[in-house]
Amino acid sequence: MELPVTVGVDGSEASLAAADWAAREALLRGCPLRVLHALPLMPHLLPSRSAGRRPDPGALLHEVRHVLAVRYPQLETRTDEVHDLATVALVAAGEDAELLVVAARGAGGFPGLRVGATALHLAARAGCPTVVLPVDPPGPEPREQVVLGLDARRPAEAALEFAFAAAHRHGLPLHVVHASATGVPDDEDELLVRVLAPWQAAHPEVEAVADSTGAGAGLALVEASAKARLLVLGRRPAFLVGALGPVGHAVLHHTLCPVAIVPAA
């Protein structure tokens, strides 16, 4: 069975933007789109809006499906409602998805919050790659590359494969950013070249440019995100405490482009 790109929506403008991004990604991948809406476990406890009437939960998915059908008529789209916590529903959906997509902050967030609990939970726990879209839409800077954050001393192979494939699909060069442990980038350039050599040989269609930087990894990646279509990070196994790591947290809170978190295989 062909696995879908799955996106979580909750009616917020940010989640609807995530659905649109996910639809375009599904088209690029040639796979179906699944739009998932998690409903409260006890919907009768929801406050009514007026005259004792509650909003029809099915109306949201109907509207999303209609909008996507108009914009992307060639896309196969499926919508689902699940009575469960959003984190639980989306982690479960990730077991049967090629990619999960969520907004960094949904309807439950507050002004000033850049990444909500649901996005952080999925980034740290989902079993498939998860793309988190930033709160603020990307600025006018040209988005002419895919960026990969890589530790050349412990290269994440799943993230490397994801990044090269993403660069190929989008027809963009891949910018690999490695933060030097010594603070002297030249000392680790050779290591980075050796790590990337077999990947470049396997993906000759992708132009890969590597950078070692003496700046902190988080700062370097946030700066690179200003010109990126997508930023890719690897993630340690979810059973490890702090699987997302400080770099992942920093990037998700300050990125200027969508971020893909790719779990270790």
Domain that holds residue 81: 5-133
Cα-Cα-Cα-Cα torsion 243, 175, 196, 125, nearest 10 degrees, comes to 20
Alpha-carbon distance of 167 to 187, in angstroms, equals 27
Radius of gyration of the chain (CA): 19
Per-residue confidence (pLDDT) for residue 207, from 0 to 100: 96
Q: Confidence class of residue 224 from pLDDT cuts 50, 70 and 90?
A: very high
C-alpha distance from residue 48 to each of 41, 63, 162, 172 (Å): 16, 21, 44, 48
Per-residue confidence (pLDDT) for residue 127, from 0 to 100: 93
**One-letter amino acid identity for 231?**
L
Same domain, 24 and 115: yes
Give residues with Cβ within 8 angstroms of 236, minimum separation 6: 243, 245, 264
Average pLDDT over residues 181-198: 80
What is the end-to-end Cα distance of the chain in Å, rounded?
20
Tokens of 122: 């999925």
Mean pLDDT, the chain, integer: 88
Q: What is the pLDDT of residues 38-82, one digit of tens each?
A: 987 765 545 444 444 445 667 999 999 999 999 999 999 999 999
Is pLDDT at 242 greater than 60 in this prediction?
no
Return the higher-pLDDT residue of 213 and 199. Answer: 199
Same domain, 196 and 258: yes
Same domain, 59 and 151: no
Same domain, 157 and 127: no
- CATH code of the domain covering residue 117: 3.40.50.620
Average pLDDT over residues 170-198: 84
Same domain, 189 and 73: no
In this prediction the pTM is 0.90
Alpha-carbon distance of 109 to 102, in angstroms, equals 13
Residue 120 lies in a domain: yes
Return the higher-pLDDT residue of 217 and 66. Answer: 66
Is pLDDT at 159 greater than 90 in this prediction?
yes
Give residues with Cβ within 8 angstroms of 44, minimum separation 6: none
Q: Among the listed ranges 94-108, 136-150, 231-245, which one has the minimum average pLDDT value?
A: 231-245
Domain count within the chain: 2
Question: What DSSP line would sit under 27-82, residue for residue?
Answer: HHHT--EEEEEEEPSSGGGSPPSBTTB---HHHHHHHHHHHHHHH-TTS-EEEEEE
Same domain, 175 and 127: no
Per-residue confidence (pLDDT) for residue 58, from 0 to 100: 79
Per-residue confidence (pLDDT) for residue 53, from 0 to 100: 44
